[in-house]
Amino acid sequence: MPKPEAARPHPLAGRQPAALRSLFRAGRYTGATTGLAPGRLQCNLVVLPHRAAQAFAAYCAANPAPCPLLYMGAPGDPMLDALGADIDIRTDLPAYLVHRDGNSGPAVPDILDLWRADSVALLLGCSLSFEEALVAAGVRLRHLERGGDIAAFRTSIKTTPAPPFSGPLVVSMRAVAAADAGRAGAITTRFTHAHGAPLHTGDPAALGIADVERPDWGEPPTIQAGEVPMFWACGVTSHLALLNARLPLAITHAPGAMLITDLAADKPPEPISSS
């Protein structure tokens, strides 16, 4: 078995969701939310004009594992009180990406100047939500021990298209002790709102991943003796679908920089709002 790594406490460890969102809103933290607010629901973000949001919801319905749509805000309303106290979706994530005509710009700290009267916020489940349940069950997650972000990979698997949205499936990877793999799979199966059960365990080549130590997003992982790579569907899938659609304007969270809600991680929000 691999030896435990020296723990690196996150500088924001122990902060409550509202306090974290206040820091994000003030621009005082722009990094990943991995390991923050354990036991709270974290969400991927997509912001689209109303008409495109309806088409994107259809894409999510066709691809529920990578794109579990949990909530849609009302057009023009940036406040998401159903997900947490005083959440302003324009400011309360650590960082955002702005995509224009299929091209992504650098990360920005807020989207106040880009919010429009027909803007709709769509929130998708995120696998960071189930990590506390794994840790509580005794499953080691070494990226948390070292204070790092998870690795994510573009696969050779195509998602089900819903025009204008299409693209490859993206997966996140966690190195798990082989003896714990069955338990990890069983625990995450109940988190259907946060990508659910792993899609694959073992050989990365089965997903078209040539080198598991060279991720497309996140930090390079290592697989130690006695461990197996486990792959879950990932919300970055939605980013690639947005880029392929080449919309004049689309906004997402920066990879790893999620919305932290006040909700318990093991329970999705109430039914999706009508927009």
Measured CA to CA, the distance from residue 231 to residue 200 in angstroms comes to 5
Residue 110 lies in a domain: yes
Assess whether 165 and 180 both reside in one domain. yes
Assess whether 78 and 204 both reside in one domain. no
Kindly give, in sequence order, each residue whose CB lies less than 8 Å from that of residue 110, ignoring residues fewer than 6 positions away: 25, 27, 90, 91, 96
pLDDT-based confidence at 272, cuts 50/70/90? Answer: low
Assess whether 186 and 144 both reside in one domain. yes
Full-prediction pTM beyond 0.95? no
Residue 12 lies in a domain: no
The pLDDT assigned to 151 comes to 92
Q: CATH number of the domain at 120, please.
A: 3.40.1640.10
Measured CA to CA, the distance from residue 271 to residue 275 in angstroms comes to 12
Residue 218 lies in a domain: yes
pLDDT digits (tens, 9 = 90+) for 163-174: 999 999 999 999
Report how many domains make up the chain. Answer: 2
pLDDT-based confidence at 9, cuts 50/70/90? Answer: low
Residue 72 lies in a domain: yes
Assess whether 106 and 159 both reside in one domain. no
Residue 208 lies in a domain: yes
Residue 2 lies in a domain: no
Judged against a pLDDT cut of 50, whether residue 227 lies above it is answered with yes
Residue 271 lies in a domain: no
User: What are the CA-CA distances from residue 273 to residues 72, 90, 102, 194 (Å)?
Assistant: 5, 18, 28, 18
Of 109, 112, 128, the C-alpha closest to 232 is 128
Assess whether 53 and 113 both reside in one domain. yes
Helix spans in the chain (H)? 17-25, 50-62, 131-136, 142-145, 181-189, 236-245
pLDDT digits (tens, 9 = 90+) for 120-156: 999 999 998 898 899 999 999 988 887 778 899 999 9
Assess whether 120 and 21 both reside in one domain. yes
Residue 165 lies in a domain: yes
Of 94, 98, 121, the C-alpha closest to 109 is 94
The pLDDT assigned to 222 comes to 85
b/e sequence 8-26, b meaning 16+ C-beta within 10 Å: eebebeebebeebbeebbe
Judged against a pLDDT cut of 50, whether residue 1 lies above it is answered with no
Strands (E), 167-207: 168-177, 200-201
The pLDDT assigned to 271 comes to 63
Assess whether 39 and 52 both reside in one domain. yes
Assess whether 117 and 34 both reside in one domain. yes
Assess whether 47 and 142 both reside in one domain. no
Assess whether 212 and 86 both reside in one domain. no
Assess whether 175 and 214 both reside in one domain. yes
pLDDT-based confidence at 6, cuts 50/70/90? Answer: very low
Q: CATH number of the domain at 211, please.
A: 3.30.2040.10
The pLDDT assigned to 240 comes to 95
Q: Which domain holds residue 54?
A: 17-127+239-264
Assess whether 217 and 244 both reside in one domain. no
The pLDDT assigned to 262 comes to 96
